[in-house]
Amino acid sequence: MKKTVLLYASAPDVASTAPLHFAAHVARWKIFRDRGELLMVGTFANVADGALGIFTTREAAEAFARDDPFVLHGVVSRWEVRDWNEAIAEP
């Protein structure tokens, strides 16, 4: 089953900037989650390594990133969208 992965690279000052914009970032991903477009989201164990989100479509992933407060305020240094083929899916 095809999904889309949004990869975020953390800016060097992520530890100090993320808390400032966290509530707005969460509010944004809840909109996409509630519409069924965002399936999973989270940071890597080391937040400096970035984060990822799994979306149902490329369009949703790109729309999310374009106006995400983390992107707009430099918490994320760059982002990338990749198509992904899920190998294990519930029927």
**pLDDT, tens digit, 9 for 90 and up, residues 5-56:** 999 999 999 999 999 999 999 999 999 999 999 999 999 999 999 999 999 9
Higher pLDDT: 1 or 64? It is 64
Quick check: helix, strand or coil at residue 74? Answer: coil
Candidates 3.30.450.70, 3.40.50.1400, 1.20.1250.20, 3.30.70.1060; CATH matching 2-85: 3.30.70.1060
Are the C-beta atoms of residues 4 and 57 closer than 8 Å to each other?
A: yes
Are the C-beta atoms of residues 51 and 43 closer than 8 Å to each other?
A: yes
Contacts of residue 72, defined as CB under 8 A and 6 or more positions apart, other chains included, come to: none
pTM of the model: 0.91
- As separate numbers, helices (DSSP H) first and strands (DSSP E) second, the chain gives 3, 4
